[in-house]
Structure 1
Amino acid sequence: MNNCIEFPKGTSFLVTGGAGFIGSNIVEKILYLGHKVKVLDNFSTGKRENIAEFLKKSNFELIEGDIRDINTCRTACKDVDYVIHQAAWGSVPRSIEMPVLYDDINVKGHLNMMQAARENNVKKFVYASSSAVYGDDPILPKQEGSEGKVISPYALTKRINEEYADLYYRLYGLETVGLRYFNVFGKRQDPNGAYAAVIPKFVKELLGGIQPVIYGDGETSRDFIFIDNVVEANLKACIATSEASGKAFNIGYGQKTSLNDLYKKLSELLEKIDISPRYEKEREGDIKHSTASIEKAKEILKYNPQYSVNEGLELTIDWYKNNL
């Protein structure tokens, strides 16, 4: 990973959702850099094993609590320089089943965290948005400022998060930076459950000799981005100039990969080319194609993804082979 990200000695971070897939990887990097980290997590989707190795470190603190409780958020933001807000519920299909819960967690929780950060004079509030905000806009690559109509409650919660973050910057001066994640993958991503992401699911099933399911004809494409690139983006957002504040940026690799091509690559890497996928009908709320333009993030955040998709897949497979 690019090692030019530096913070003054004694810098402290709060990572919400720090026991989750992305959050725990961010925490690991901050601890590696020698800084203090607090994690706020209620373990509704995060896993204790993701942070087990950090618990014994003197510069790590766990706060078990819910972002829907404003007082918990205020306590967590005390004596913190940077908030990296990852706590949310993901999954487009699940949000279609549970729109009210998604609004409660993803919108109210986000607002609580920004308010707590503002009251505690946090230097920067960096938060997870999503490529889902592009909705039905057909233009590729996806470019900030060209958003269509959202097609899921999850996407709407992320769109609202961005609007609130922009408002909090303009109204109260809280320096907010949104990161529109495309399809993040890497170590600690959960392969289990009906809403698991495609890469860990494919890997687990192929390793187990199970025939994976591809929804649609397999020509659906995504911009897959390795977790270490996403960690870099979060830390660079923390030290970005005020030009970044109030804005949201695409965080992808800038490369299109179809599900068929992804499947072929994974089956080759796992030496499971004899297992063919099973095709089923497309899922409601899924976008057909998604590729990021990352020029704005490169220019303003100095984002520079170090790992290609193939490099990331190889590292990810190594991790799953040792941890599944």
Structure 2
Amino acid sequence: MTKVLITGGAGFIGSFLAHKLVANGDKVIVVDDLSMGRLENLTDIKDEIVFYKHTVCDEQFMHDLLLKGNFDYIYYLAAVSSVADSVVRPWYTHLVNQESVVNTLEFIRTNHLPIKKFLFTSSAAVYGNTADFPKTENSHVDPLTPYAIDKYASERYTVDYGRLYDIPTVAVRFFNVYGPRQNPNSEYSGVLSIVTKCLKENKPFTLYGDGSQTRDFIYVEDVVDALIKISTETDELTVYNIANGDETPLIDVIRTYENIAGSKLNIIKKEARLGDISKSRADVSKLKSIGFKPQWSLHDGLTNYWKYYSKN
């Protein structure tokens, strides 16, 4: 039986990955300190996984787990996944978003752990506001916040540990992932989870900027399929964009969602925030070259998200 470790596995994307891997018959071990993840995300598979409520910053715990786990695959999703939070707490977020990653890679190296793949999840935030458009994996990077700096450094460590020490590694850059189980109750949540909550509860939504900022949205189930395909079917030590390859203004997404929900959003406009990116779109040629194709359109994904949130 394939053994898989998911750090951050109680989070939004991590929990979807855990469900998919369990359905595939894998033995899944999840580590999550529940600072951003939620245990209820794993409720219906709780008897089929091993769960540890623990921080990845605890070196001894992680070392013991890695040594005894005999993992085939490691999906490293644990992160303080908030640009704004990293500006407020740069050192703490650095410990989670970079130090813990390098420590894990170093332990794998020094103990010659025979893993099949270590996959690190980075972010489109590494591109910043560079002129290259759309963003290819070889585009210039301009990380504008501690979050983006740590993500970029950690993906470089991941790929270069592979090249220097013959460890099978790969990194991915998430663009704007959305779907069920996104936590809408944090000020650092993804924009669509906050829009969903505001629509459902008829609360005002704060729009930073004029809404013309574009994003490349991808549904969470497509993301999980891409992660599994990249980790199990590729050998290249590299970085992949994970996105749809589309560019949609945020205000257009909101209007589409209003039509699906059958209600209008009460929008309060404020100045754009420091570090926010104005235009974002991925070149996904590399992802397509390995045979991946997203299955969810934005309209279908939003429809499914609204159905889920309406029931839960």
Class of the TM-score when normalised by the shorter of the 2 chains: over 0.9
Matched, 1:317 2:310: no
User: For 1:294 and 1:219, how far apart are their aligned partners in 2?
Assistant: 22
Q: Is the 8 A contact 1:70 1:116 kept in 2?
A: no
- Asked whether the equivalents of residues 217 and 243 of structure 2 are also in contact (C-alpha less than 8 Å), the reply is yes
Work out the CA distance in 2 between the residues paired with 1:69 and 1:208. 39
Task: Tell me the distance in 2 between the aligned counterparts of 1:17 and 1:195.
Answer: 16
Residue-by-residue CA offset, 1:81-118 (whole Å, 9 max, x unaligned): 00011000111111111111111111111112223444
Aligned equivalent of 1:5? none
The match for 2:240 is 249
The aligned amino acid for 2:56 is I
Cα distance in 2, alignment partners of residues 286 and 37 from structure 1: 36
Q: Percent identity?
A: 34
Give the AA of the match of 1:69.
D
Question: In structure 2, what is the equivalent of residue 65 of structure 1?
Answer: 54
What 5-or-longer segments of structure 1 have no aligned partner? 1-9
How far is 1:75 from its partner?
A: 2.9
Q: Given the alignment, which residue of 304, 307, 319 partners 2:293?
A: 304
User: Could you list the per-position Cα deviations for residues 128-181 of structure 1 after superposition, in whole angstroms to 9, with x for gaps in the alignment?
Assistant: 100011122122211111123211110000110111012211111111111100
Identify the residue that residue 74 of structure 1 maps to in structure 2.
Answer: 63
Tell me, in whole angstroms, the C-alpha distance in 1 between the residues paired with 2:230 and 2:62. 21
Contact 2:244 2:284 survives alignment (8 Å): yes
Give the 3 Å change call, closer, same or farther, for CA 116–308 of structure 1 in structure 2: farther
CA distance in 1, matches of 2:139, 2:64: 38
Q: Aligned with 2:85: secondary structure?
A: helix
Quote the residue 1:216 is aligned against. Answer: 209
Asked if 1 retains the 8 angstrom alpha-carbon contact of 2:159 and 2:171, the reply is no
The alignment covers a number of residue pairs equal to: 308
Q: Distance in 2 between matches of 1:251 and 1:258?
A: 19
What is the one-letter code of the residue matched to 1:193?
A: S
Question: Do 1:38 and 1:76's aligned partners in 2 also have CA atoms closer than 8 Å?
Answer: no
RMSD: 1.3
- How far apart are the structure 2 equivalents of 1:316 and 1:113? 34
* Contact 1:40 1:76 survives alignment (8 Å): no
Pairing of 1:181-200 with structure 2 (within 5 A): 181-200=174-193
Which amino acid in the other structure matches residue 186 of structure 1? G
Give TM-score scaled by structure 1 length.
0.92
After TM superposition, list the pairs within 5 Å mapping 1:1-324 onto structure 2.
10-57=1-48, 60-77=49-66, 78-118=69-109, 119=111, 120-242=113-235, 244-245=236-237, 247-273=238-264, 275-299=265-289, 301-323=290-312
Aligned with 2:300: secondary structure? helix
Q: Distance in 2 between matches of 1:147 and 1:96?
A: 22
Query: Which blocks of at least 5 consecutive residues in structure 2 are unaligned?
Result: none
Q: Tell whether the 8 Å contact from 2:135 to 2:283 is kept in structure 1 after alignment.
A: yes
- Contact between 2:132 and 2:140, CA under 8 Å: does it hold in 1? no
Q: What amino acid is aligned across from residue 26 of structure 1 in structure 2?
A: L
